[in-house]
Amino acid sequence: MMYFCIDMKSFYASVECAVRGLDPLTTPLVVADPERGNGTICLAVSPYLKKMGVRNRCRIFEIPQNIKYFKAKPRMRLYMEYAAKIHEIFLRYVSSEDIHTYSIDEAFLNIEPYLHLHNSIKDLAFKILGDIKLELKIVASCGVGDNLFLAKLALDLKAKNQTDNYFYLTKEIFFKDVWYITDLDHIWQIGRGIKKRLNKLGIYNLKDVAYSGKEVLQKEFGVIGLDLYEHAWGIDDTKIADIKAYLPLAKSISRRQVLFRDYSKEEALTPLLEMLYLLCLDLFQKKLMARNIAFYIDYSKHTHSYHKTFTLGYFTDDYFTLKSELKKYYAQVKDEPIRVIGLSFSNFIDKNLGYNTLFYEANQHYDKLCKTIIDIWQKYGKNKLVMATAILKESTIYERNKQIGGHNSD
């Protein structure tokens, strides 16, 4: 097999430059909400600023004061529209069944069935990158390998730093070059935690991993250890079809938000219950009921936090039932300034299986209420029908309904 791994350089920042008719390679642009102050995180910085040493996901105050730049407010809906256009370009060259969207700005393409239609692998890559640049003004990079792992490494370690934004990582180059990289956390699927554990075992590069033996790695990391061993030899048998067919055994749905200011314990309960309300509607739409609920609190300046998970004696998607349970456990939270709140559900069953509490009639009424709310949202927008708590000064629901993924949508 032969795969492309294609990434859009500084995607959000490049889109903001594109709509302004600016060149991201020469424009000092930062994607960050100017209304959130200097502590806000930059979602992206232009390639020009990256060359000057400004890193992605830094905070505004971390940008050196001698560097001049301007801010662009995040527009998630716009970025999603651009991502869809990029996907349409991919479809000119490969079938949808041979595309795996890894993230909003990155995708894997199985190009093996289409190579006979083009002069070379590089020719096909440059056609795709060229269309993206010509039509959308976005610079993309392409890593190539004979499996998904090598294609991803080709992108991350090589292509992004090449003048033509292209690199084909062969097995020969892998063993000659990548094998000896000591920054193991630069390797796909190896984070800082795994790197530290490997170092404790006397393992400092992929060659060390390869010669450490399956048994040692499996004992330390379980199934992940076997993946590490195979990757160290440049082996990855995963196909895009396997990814598309995969159904995770454990699922969860969650919401998290950073509050715009320090909230008291009493104030923070309002947005927490608003998140509960939205998550319950998510459950209804997915036709799921949950049994495990977890919430967490990060206090101001992140000096400490509070986490609580509780398991119900039944499965439910009922907001009013879950509200009562959540408030009971929330009473244990310390009354200190709060800055971050989060909530998640897990341990689901399919609502269509017919599981019900004794209050069947009440369940039916609740389902009708949920359906009515969602129908109104789809026709008029979420802010046309909100919880009554929206009138409170500590409510965040109006603002959150304008966002996608926690960021401004328009």
Domains present along the chain, CATH in parentheses: 1-169 (3.30.70.270), 176-244 (1.10.150.20), 252-408 (3.30.1490.100)
- Cα separation, 295 vs 206, in Å, equals 38
**DSSP bridge pairs for 329:** none
For 26, 135, 143, 231, 242, the CA distances from 157, given in Å and listed in that order, are 23, 27, 9, 15, 25
pLDDT tens digits in sequence order for the chain, 410 residues long: 999 999 999 999 999 999 999 999 999 999 998 877 777 888 899 999 999 989 888 888 889 989 999 999 998 889 999 999 999 999 999 999 999 999 999 999 999 999 999 999 999 999 999 999 999 999 999 999 999 999 999 999 999 999 999 999 999 999 999 999 999 999 998 988 999 999 999 999 999 999 998 999 999 999 899 999 999 999 999 999 998 886 555 578 999 988 888 999 999 999 999 999 999 999 999 888 999 999 999 998 666 789 999 999 888 899 999 999 999 999 999 889 999 999 999 988 888 765 555 444 557 888 899 999 999 988 888 888 888 888 899 988 887 776 655 555 55
Residues belonging to the chain: 410
User: Is 0.85 topped by the overall pTM?
Assistant: no
The three-class DSSP label of residue 57 is coil
Backbone angle region of 21, left / alpha / beta, with phi > 0 → left and psi within -120 to 50 → alpha? left
